[in-house]
Chains A and B, each alone.
Chain A
C-alpha cells in the first residue's frame, strides 16, 4: 500500500511543479515527474509479490507470475514521454532566443 501512496505523492509533486514554478525548464522537469509517477504506477499494477517472469516453458507450472502487459505499455508511454519532452525543450530554447528569459511571467505577449 505504501508504494501506491508514495507514487501518488510523486504525482502531486510533479503537478505542483508544473503549476507553481515560474522557470519554464522547471515546468518541463515537472512534466517529466508527472509522467514518471504515472509510469511507476502502471508498473506497480503488474507487480506480484515473489512473482517470476512470465515465460512459458515445458514441464513447468507457473503459479505466481508478474503481469507483463503493463511493462509493455509503459515502454510505449516512455517513448511518447520522450517525444513530448524533446519537443517542449526545443520550444523552450526557441522561447529563450525570442524573449531572452526563462521566466514564464515575463513571457506574456498574448492576452485577452
Chain B
C-alpha cells in the first residue's frame, strides 16, 4: 500500500531534519529534496494505481472504517497529490540557493516538510476530524513560515494571517462538531450515507455555511481575502510559491470540493453561492491587482482572482465546468509558483520588489525574463500556453450552462489580467536598463533549473486536455460528478 507514505515521508523528513540539520551541513537540502522527489514519484505511481483499482482504501491500524480512521485514494486525490508534490519538488530545488541568505536553513526545511505533511494528509484522508488535524498542521507551519524573516512587515502579516486562520479553523471545528452530533460518525463515507438517509434540514444548511466560511477563508475567496495580500508577499519566495501555488487550493478549494460534492451533497443554492463568490473574487482580485507596484503583492492579488476562476468552474456543476475548474487549478499552481519564483529571483539579485525601480532586466537576467514571459502569457491566457485552454473551457462551460453574465465576467477578468501583466513585463524586464543595476548577475543554477522546469511544464501541460492524457483530468472530475456515489465506492472497496 502506498497511501500512508504520503504522510510518513514528509513527517519523517521533518523529524530527521530538525534533529540532525544543525550538526550535519547540507543535510536539510539533501533530505528535503530526496523526500519531495520520492513523493513526486509516489504520486505519479498513484495515477496508474487509480487507473487499475479506481479507488484504494487504507485502514489505519487495521480498524474497519466506520470505527477507525481510513485513508482514501481516488482520482481527485491522485490529481491533487501530483499537483502538490510536483510544485513542492521544484520549490525545494529552488530553495537550495535562495534560502542561503537566511540563517537556520534547516528550520525552514523542517517547517516546509510539516506543511507538506499537512497538505498531503488533507488530500489523502477519509476522516473528517483527521482532515481538521492535518489542516491545522499545514496552517500552523504556514503561519511560522510567513514570519520566517522576522522583520516588522513579516511579523505583522503573520499575525494577521494567524488570527484569521485560527478563527477559520474554529468555524471548521464547530461545523465538524455539529455534523458529528447530527450523524454520530466522523468517517466521510459514513457521514454521506447517514445524511442521504435523512431529509434535508436546517442543520445541514447551517453546517454548510460554517464550512463555506471556514474553508472560504483558507481559500481567500473575496469577502474573506484580506489576509492573503499581506501574508503571501511577506513570506520568502519559495514559500510564497507554495502558499499561492498549492496551499490555498488544498486547504480551501479541495476541502470545499470534497465536503460539498461528496459529503453534504450539492444543491443549486450552494452552486449558485460558489459561482457568485467565484465571479466576485475573479473581478475584485484583478481590479485590486492593477494598482499594485510591489511585484509580489500584485501576484498575490492575482491569486485571489485565479482562485475565483477555479471556484466559478467548479460551481457551474456541469461536467465541462468541473473539468475546466480542475484544469485551471493545476495550471494556476504551475504558473503562479513560477511567477513567485521569478519575483524571488529578481529580489535575490536586486534586493527590491518595487516594479518602478526595475527596468531592462532582460539583458542581465535572460532566464528569469524569459520564464516570466512564459508564465505571464499563461496567466493572461495567450493561446499556446496552458492558461488559455483552461480559461477557454471555463468560458465555454459558462455559455453551455446559459450563464452569459459569468462568461462575460471571466472574459473581462482575463483582459484585465493581461493588462496587469503587460505592466509587469514592461516595467521589470523590457525597456532600458536602469544604470543602478549595471553589475547584477543571473541567479545560481538550482534556481534557474527549477524556473526552466516550471516554464516547460507551462507549455506541455496544455496537452493535458488532449485525448491521450485527458483520463488523468477526467478521473478527477468524475469523483466530483459522482457526488453521493462516493460512499458506495468507498464501502465497495472495503468489502
Contacts and interface: CB of A to CB of B under 8 A. Distances in A.
Interface in A61-86: 69-70, 73, 76-77, 80, 83-84
A109 interface: yes
Interface of A: 11, 15, 18, 24, 27, 31, 34-35, 38, 41-42, 45, 69-70, 73, 76-77, 80, 83-84, 87-88, 91-92, 94-95, 98-99, 107-110, 112
Contact of A87 (B133, B143, B156, B170): B143
A80 B165 CA distance: 13
B162 A80 contact: no
A109 B156 contact: yes
A51 to B, nearest CB: 15
A107 B156 contact: yes
Nearest to A24: B159
A16 to B, nearest CB: 12
B18 interface: no
Interface string B171-185: 001100100110000
Given A84-B136, A84-B166, A88-B163, A110 B177 contact: no
Given A24-B159, A80-B133, A110-B157, A91 B147 contact: yes
B177 A84 contact: no
5 contacts: A38-B177, A41-B177, A84-B140, A84-B169, A88-B162
Interface of B: 129, 132-133, 136, 140, 143-144, 147, 150-153, 155-159, 162-163, 166-167, 169-170, 173-174, 177, 180-181, 186, 229-230, 234, 291-292, 294, 297
A84 B153 contact: no
Nearest to B230: A110
A35 B170 contact: yes
A41 B229 CA distance: 34
B153 A110 contact: yes
Contacts of B229: 112
Contacts of A107: 156, 159
A18 B163 contact: yes
A38 B162 contact: no
B70 to A, nearest CB: 16
Given A31-B167, A88-B166, A42 B133 contact: no
Nearest to B229: A112
Contact of A45 (B159, B163, B177, B294): B177
Is chain B's interface secondary structure helix, strand, loop, or mixed overall? helix
Given A15-B167, A45-B177, A80 B292 contact: no
A91 B162 contact: yes
Contact of A94 (B133, B150, B157, B174): B150
Contacts of A45: 177, 180-181
Contacts of B129: 73, 76
Contact of B159 (A35, A69, A76, A88): A88
Contacts of B158: 91
A77 to B, nearest CB: 6
Nearest to B175: A38
A92 to B, nearest CB: 7
Contacts of B159: 24, 88, 91-92, 95, 107
Contacts of A84: 136, 140, 143, 162, 166, 169
A87 B181 CA distance: 31
Contacts of A95: 152, 155-156, 159
Contacts of B173: 38, 42, 77
A45 B144 CA distance: 33
Contacts of A15: 167
A98 to B, nearest CB: 4
Nearest to B181: A45
A94 B149 CA distance: 12
A41 B174 contact: yes
A28 to B, nearest CB: 8
Nearest to A83: B140
